Amino acid sequence: MSSPFLQMIAEKMNTQRYAKRTINTYLYWIKGYINFCHKTHPKQCGNEEVEEFLNYLANQLLVAPKTQALALNALVYLYKQVLGCPLSINLNFNKSKNSPNLPVVLTQNEVNELLNAVDSNHSLICRLMYGSGLRVMETVRLRVHDIDFDYHTIQVWRSKGGKNRRVTLAPELTCELKTQIKLARALFERDRISPSYAGVWLPNRLDRKYPNAPFEFGWHYLFPSQRLSTEPQSNNVRRHHIDETRLRKALKTAVAKTTIEKRVTCHTLRHSFATHLLQRGADIRTVQEQLGHTDIRTTQIYTHVIEQGANGVRSPLSDLYSNE
């Protein structure tokens, strides 16, 4: 990172235990804002320049509402936490108004066809995403001890919004999961005899509180990478989890082998999980807890998928056919 100012922000966010992705995203928008202001130091700018930048994102770049909100969050952090001069709560700018898309949902037959088309290296992880409604990053970050075979649940730690939750685990995956744990243990046994191995990475400085934890198998990733890697900041040699981009590519390849014509992503499996639970009569509050939504209105979008289709409003055209 060439800019000392941006480097200072990154170090500050690191000490405040922000996720690496969040740090990179905030730095991206802060840098974009500084360039928009012709590289004027942000301390010399303020509410007016921020409003102009947000208007530029909405009117010229036509960014999505969530993208504009993310840029605003980055600038709010910049002015409040870094510069010590918070922005006005009454900023006046044009908000992006792109209509949110309804979630793409597969039928159960389509899910079955898709899961059967996924290659063996990624089959289990895709079945977990559908069977437990997990986000892709929640799945790849699972640790061995997050799987509870006794109660058939999965513990999800520090998910979106920093929340923890328990989700259901399909008993039918027990054998596959135990096989995966054996594979992970084989890599663990090989790694720990290496003098350069620094153990698995732990969040929130847990390695300081529990010095032995990085070398305990339960803390290691359920889906480990096939290669060791060196952390750029500390030069520690560790084994990370599998790369989520490989998973996305594997799913895309699997879709191409099926007859499914919908736009399918990893998140489609989560959408399908929620919709199928509601179709089976699950209470919306239960689905909300399984998905980890803070606001139930986020979960209600899946009821719209059901109620506005064949399970809800009857088309008047159907009456014409029934009278023939």
The reply to whether 43 and 76 lie within a common domain is yes
* 322 assigned to some structural domain: no
pLDDT on residue 324:
60
165 annotated active-site? no
The reply to whether 47 and 185 lie within a common domain is no
Distances in Å between the alpha carbon of 108 and those of 276, 277, 291? Answer: 8, 11, 19
- Of 67, 30, 33, 66, the closest CA to residue 52 belongs to 33
Tell me the mean pLDDT in the region 100-113: 88
Q: Which residues span the domain enclosing 37?
A: 4-82
Residues 131-178: tens digit of each pLDDT: 999 999 999 999 999 999 999 999 999 888 778 999 999 999 999 999
* 53 assigned to some structural domain: yes
The reply to whether 263 and 127 lie within a common domain is yes
Largest CA distance in the chain: 80
Distance CA 180, CA 172 (A): 14
Find the CATH number of the domain harbouring 157.
Answer: 1.10.443.10
Backbone angles phi, psi at 143, to 5 degrees: -100, 160
pLDDT on residue 232:
75
270 annotated active-site? yes
135 annotated active-site? yes
The reply to whether 112 and 206 lie within a common domain is yes
pLDDT on residue 30:
96
Strand, coil or helix: 153: strand
Which one is catalytic: 135, 220, 241, 271?
135
* 89 assigned to some structural domain: no
Distance CA 307, CA 275 (A): 11
Total Cβ atoms within 10 A of residue 285 = 10
302 annotated active-site? yes
pLDDT at 258 over 60: yes
Q: What angle do CA 264, 160, 280 make, to 5 degrees?
A: 55
pLDDT on residue 307:
67
pLDDT band at 37 (very low <50, low <70, confident <90, very high): very high
The reply to whether 264 and 135 lie within a common domain is yes
The reply to whether 77 and 127 lie within a common domain is no
Which one is catalytic: 122, 241, 276, 293?
293
Distance CA 6, CA 70 (A): 17
Strand, coil or helix: 311: coil
pLDDT on residue 162:
77
Tell me the mean pLDDT in the region 84-108: 84
Which one is catalytic: 160, 163, 190, 252?
160
The reply to whether 123 and 246 lie within a common domain is yes
Tell me the mean pLDDT in the region 20-32: 92
Residues 270-293: tens digit of each pLDDT: 999 999 999 888 999 999 999 999
* 32 assigned to some structural domain: yes
The reply to whether 12 and 110 lie within a common domain is no
Distance CA 223, CA 122 (A): 10
* 321 assigned to some structural domain: no
Domain boundary residue among 55, 82, 109?
82
The reply to whether 231 and 106 lie within a common domain is yes
The reply to whether 75 and 139 lie within a common domain is no
Domain boundary residue among 82, 111, 134?
82
39 annotated active-site? no
pLDDT on residue 36:
95
Percentage above 70 pLDDT, the chain: 94
pLDDT band at 305 (very low <50, low <70, confident <90, very high): confident
The reply to whether 217 and 264 lie within a common domain is yes
Find the CATH number of the domain harbouring 12.
Answer: 1.10.150.130
Residues 183-234: tens digit of each pLDDT: 999 999 999 999 999 999 988 778 788 889 999 999 999 999 999 999 877 7
What is the number of structural domains in the chain? 2
Average pLDDT of the chain, as a whole number = 90
Which one is catalytic: 220, 270, 271, 276?
270
The reply to whether 164 and 300 lie within a common domain is yes
* 270 assigned to some structural domain: yes
Domain boundary residue among 82, 110, 133?
82
* 40 assigned to some structural domain: yes
- Residue carrying the six token digits 């736009």: 263
